[in-house]
Structure 1
Amino acid sequence: MARTTVSVEPEHYIPVPRHRLIDVLKSESGDRTTSTDALCRLLAALIHFEYRELIDELKQDYLRFDPARPERLNSMMGGEPSEEEYEKSERRFLENFVKTLEKANFIPLDQQAIDVADAEDYLFSLPVEVDWRRFDARLTDVLFEDGTYLDGISEPPEFAQHALLFRRGVGVDQYKGFLFFQKLDMVISKTLIWIFRKIGDLLRRKKGEEPEPDVPTENEKTDDGGGTNSIHADREIERITLKPEDVNLRSFFKRTQLQEPTFSQLVMVYRLLPDGKDSAATSIDRTIHIKTLVDIPMADLEVVFPEKRLSMKPVDLIKLITTTVTGVAIVSFKLMTALVVNPYLLFILMGSLIAYVGRTVMGYRTSRARYEHLVTDALYAKSRDNGLGVVLFLVDCMEEQEWKEALLAWTMLDRNGPCDTEKLDKYCEEWLDEKFNIKTDFEVEDGLGKLLELDLVSKNGELWTACDLDTALERLDTRWDNYFQYNSDSPSSGPESIASSDPVVPDPTAVEPTDPEPIAVEPIAVE
């Protein structure tokens, strides 16, 4: 089996479930369990509330571009918006959407990741061709006005002007089976390549040229990015693929195990041109498609795009032509013989020729339909949501990642005392590795920025210091209580202050009200 290695950098993404993180922090807090739980709840509530405007803008702007928008939307919204209003809403939505993705620690897919994905084949061996002419490139123009890619660093992939693709997390997919059709295809391909190579060698010998020696292919180590500030080394994922040299007679009776790195989560954004060649250049379909998929093998990345066509590999085309030409030659020879022996056999052999060609064409169409069915089933199983559901999912991911970064940064500062940014980053990454076996590149700058905004940390030179837990709870509670100040009777009107307010003690001298006497009601006679 061919084995190569994909090197994956640690990501900012923290995959620990929220409830599990809270449980571990509470178990380590000693006698401060109640206060730690209150800190987690208050911090989550504040972050959710402070992103309310962003959430409202995303939902409001996407309402006009949602594929599932109501038919009478324009009448409910006060009429058809102007072209300028459309462009304004579209620009604001895309900018907020990309901002949400970045804060949720999604990474834009760059050309280097695409090259790594295209280096090998996995379960889908047929070439997939995406018709990029069906995509509306005007959607992404606003994001490339400054001439740089989304992250401002890497090289944009070839499809970047047609669709946006973001990833988060890298996993491993394994498949074990006989792979009969793949092995048979490789045997036939290897045989045809050997025949054509021998023919080429014979032709070169006649011309006095030396045949080209076979150079064995070596395993290549591919890389998925540049350097990071994490204390952890890059993760090495082994890629096990099936090659023609691995196939022999015995391999048909043995199960073969393949392994391929996967993109754990993918988010795709695109817009298609209207149907019809004449209207595509002048009109515009405002619908913006958003999809999220999970566990997509890197080598099968191209199957996630819409408007794709499965095409034949050159070797498959050679096999089809070879078998067709051979069959036609045999039938043609029989036709010539039939003309001599019995002219009436000509019609029968002509029918046989037509049937043979039809069978060849149907065999190709059947194989193509089988692969299309496999692609459709795989995408159906790996598709999670689309449209507005993806937007709401990403908002939740953003809030959760921001909450984890801020909470872990304050916790490590509280435990280890004042330290600089580099040490705090190290403390957080070591703790996540020790407790959850997660090797992440902790985004300490984002966590400290949020804590500084909430007045939970202070900076003296290069050292950061966290306030104590009681002070943190008091400041967060005060901030929560002061979001709205319409109750003039009480300085604090937030839910926490109401829950913690002093109970009302009844006046013992007050006269208790007496229950009113019941009023007698006479029954009404029904005739």
Structure 2
Amino acid sequence: MSSRLVRVRRGPAIMIDTTTLVQKLADRLEEPQFFIDVCSVMRDDITKMNEKTSRDLLELHKTRFHPTDATNKLKDSEPGVRDLEKKFLESFHSVLERCNFQQLTEKEWSEAKHSKYLLRFKIGYNKSKLDNQLLQNAPGGNNVFENLFLIYHRGVGIDTSKGFYFMPKLSVLWWSLWRTLLESFWTSKWSKSSPMELAPGDIEEGEYKIQIRNFFQKVQLQEPTFSQVVVVYRLRKQEYTYGIHVRHFKDIPMADLEIVVPEKTTPHLGKIEWFKLAISAVAASVGLWEAFGRSSVKLGLSILAVILSYSFKVYYTFQNNVLEYGKLISKEIYEKQRDTGPATLLCLCDSVLQQEVNEAVVAFFGLLKHNAASKPEELKRQCEAVLISEVDLPCDFEIEDAVLERCNFQQLAKEEWSEAKHSKYLLNIGYNKSKIDSRRKIS
């Protein structure tokens, strides 16, 4: 079995613990303690900058929008309800942006719906159980889910699955048998392509050949994943009207993204399956008419057996998928759901701190190591090279988020330098201009 490679763009998130990053970079420098001390100062400054925002967000959700335990529950008649919702959503969206989360796009959602990896059939959601008022004015302008919920994601990983996959192999065998029988009636050439629906990255497009020797061999599939997924929504009918649900998942396959959707509908035999059965019935009728018209009872019975076996295969596949769906949902809920509500917000606020410190640390290391960046674009390339060479972590580095202004650093003013030169406390020194390159600077 061959595979088709899927190219996935890496996001800007630096998915590594700050302490580990600082230590790895410090080991590459001649004066590691100086680097560690400066990184510690930057971390303290960024922590102070984020402290108030994080505290306000957590307090607002705990007291006003917790789905079950809000201490000051909002009432329908209370003025300013929508303003509080807008304030919470803007603050929450800002936190996610600073963590380098991205809203799910319509193209990504369309790809997830039509792909098949572990989840083999389409999953929808019950619109009547979800509120569509909360997210009408949500930041970001993404309306993929009709204001019913929002999905954010960041980071890219790889999920592998190994199995025999007998049913997809049987689908290919059935199609080959059916094509052989039809070609015995009509001389027109049939396409050699298989109708088997395959997930992106599962199997290469083209003719899929099954032989006895590989039919009983295990196959390993690979699928790109979102390292972290956050879902925001509100239920229409709940004990507390204004409660906002926030859920956090990890390592969700892109092709199976439907499993994080709230209020999923019960699986049922889809339109495609009914269409396949209808086409099979029509084909069986035509085939039997032709067979008995030629007084070929054996051929007619063969066609009938093929049609019945295919109908059984469609129904059995659906029942098997329902069982696999239940197992998959249970696995995602108990193994891949990291946390919900305040725990998710606390984790995201911590991620903001870690991402901003990581960005500042990498930018500082790039300047120390190369000392030759004349433009932001050049520093960006140097930082991306640092992440690859030093910590083996490819990343689309965002240089705008790494500037030292985020740490409250300010460039020394001319008046301040003049005051320092003319003031005398312990020292009165100068510097050797001939040993300093004045041609290179950060613009």
How far, CA to CA, are the matches of 1:314 and 1:136 in structure 2? 28
1:433 paired residue among 380, 383, 388: 388
What is the deviation of 1:182? 4.6
1:373 pairs with one of 315, 326, 345: 326
TM-score, with structure 2 as normaliser = 0.73
Does 2:169 match 1:216?
no
Partners of 2:259 and 2:329 within 8 A in 1:
no
Aligned partners of 1:186, 1:20: CA distance in 2, in Å? 49
Structure 1: distance between partners of 2:115 and 2:76: 48
- Provide runs of 4+ in structure 1 moved above 6 Å: 318-324, 362-365
**In percent, how many aligned pairs have the same letter?**
27
Asked if 1:271 corresponds to 2:211, the answer is no
Q: Supply the distance in 2 between the matched residues of 1:126 and 1:271 (Cα, whole angstroms).
A: 26
Deviation string for 1:304-343 (max 9, x for gaps)? 112223222456547888999xxxxxxxxxxxxxxxxxxx
* Match status 1:413 vs 2:367: yes
User: For each residue in 1:256-294, what CA deviation from the matched residue of structure 2 results, as whole angstroms up to 9, or x when unmatched?
Assistant: 12111111111111112117xxxxxxx982121111111
Q: Could you say what secondary structure the match of 2:403 adopts?
A: helix
User: Whole-Å Cα distance in 1 between the matches of residues 153 and 271 of structure 2?
Assistant: 32
Q: What displacement does 1:450 show?
A: 3.2
Q: In structure 2, what is the equivalent of residue 496 of structure 1? A: none
Q: Residue type of the partner of 1:274?
A: K
1:333 is aligned to none
The change in CA–CA distance for 1:118 and 1:192 in structure 2 (over 3 A counts) is farther
Partners of 1:214 and 1:383 in 2: CA distance: 44
1:40 equivalent to 2:45? Answer: no
CA shift digits 1:334-393 (9 cap, x unpaired): xxxxxxxxxxxxxxxxxxxxxxxxx99x97996465134223223122111111111011
Q: Paired residue for 1:389?
A: 343
Amino acid at match of 1:61: L
* Mean Cα deviation higher: 12-21 or 131-140: 131-140
Gaps of 5+ in 1: 151-155, 223-237, 276-282, 325-358, 461-527
Deviation (angstroms), 1:60: 1.9
Equivalent position amino acid for 1:399 in 2: L
Matches within 5 A, 1:174-323: 174-184=160-170, 187=173, 190=175, 198=182, 213-214=190-191, 216=193, 239-241=201-203, 245-247=208-210, 249-274=212-237, 285-308=241-264, 309-314=266-271, 316-317=273-274
Give distance in 2, aligned partners of 1:66 and 1:246: 54
CA–CA separation in structure 1 for the residues paired with 2:76 and 2:127: 29
- Alpha carbons 2:129, 2:263 under 8 Å: kept: yes
SS at match of 1:310: coil
Instruction: Give 3-state SS (helix, strand or coil) of 1:295's partner.
Output: strand
Q: CA distance change for structure 1 residues 82 and 447 in 2, over 3 Å: closer, same or farther?
A: farther
The residue aligned with 2:99 is: 104
Q: CA deviation at 1:407?
A: 2.2
CA distance in 1 between counterparts of 2:216 and 2:316 reads 25
Shift in CA distance, 27/271, structure 1 to aligned 2, threshold 3 Å: same
Question: Within 2, Cα distance between the matches of 1:246 and 1:157?
Answer: 42
Larger radius of gyration: 1
C-alpha distance in structure 2 between counterparts of 1:458 and 1:438, whole Å: 34
Q: Is the 8 A contact 1:61 1:92 kept in 2?
A: no
Out of 114, 129, 132, the residue aligned to residue 134 of structure 1 is 129
Letter in 1 for 2:326: H
- Could you list the runs of 5+ residues in structure 2 that have no partner in the other structure? 282-311, 415-443
Q: AA paired with 1:36?
A: F
Q: 1:402 aligns with which of 340, 345, 356?
A: 356
Cα distance in structure 1, aligned partners of 2:111 and 2:413: 42
Instruction: Name the aligned partner's letter for residue 257 of structure 2.
Output: L
Alignment-derived partner of residue 171 in structure 1: 157
Distance verdict in 2 for CA 1:43–1:299, change over 3 Å = same
- The corresponding residue for 2:17 is 17
Cα distance in 1, alignment partners of residues 378 and 356 from structure 2: 20
1:40-97 deviation per Cα after TM superposition (whole angstroms, max 9, x unaligned): 2222122111112211221122122222415xx24xx8x8585333322211111011
**Using the alignment, how far apart are the partners of 1:126 and 1:418 within structure 2?**
51
Normalising by structure 1, we get a TM-score of 0.62
Distance in 2, Cα, partners of 1:160 & 1:289? 17
Change (3 A) 1:316 1:112: closer
Which position in structure 2 is the counterpart of 1:450? 405
| Contact 1:174–1:257 (CA under 8 A) maintained in structure 2 | yes
Distance 1:376 1:9, change over 3 A: closer
Q: What is the RMSD computed on CA atoms of the aligned residues?
A: 3.9
Alpha-carbon offset, residue 420 of structure 1: 1.8
Instruction: Report the number of matched residues.
Output: 377
1:502-521 alignment runs, 5 A limit? none
Kindly tell me: are residues 441 and 294 of structure 1, through their superposed partners in 2, closer, same or farther at Cα, counting changes over 3 Å?
same
Name the CA shift for 1:317/1:94 in 2 (closer, same or farther; >3 Å): same
Report if the CA contact (8 A) 1:66-1:287 is conserved.
Answer: yes
Where does residue 516 of structure 1 map in the other structure?
none
8 A Cα contact 1:178 1:256, kept in partner: yes
Residue 425 of structure 1: how far off its partner (Å): 1.1
1:273, 1:284 within 8 Å by CA — same for their partners in 2? no
Tell me: CA distance 1:409–1:319, structure 2 relative to 1, closer, same or farther (3 Å). closer
Give the Å deviation of 1:247.
Answer: 4.6
Contact kept, 8 Å, 1:173 with 1:261, in 2: the verdict is: yes
SS at match of 1:6: coil
8 Å CA contact 1:121–1:241 kept in 2: the answer is no
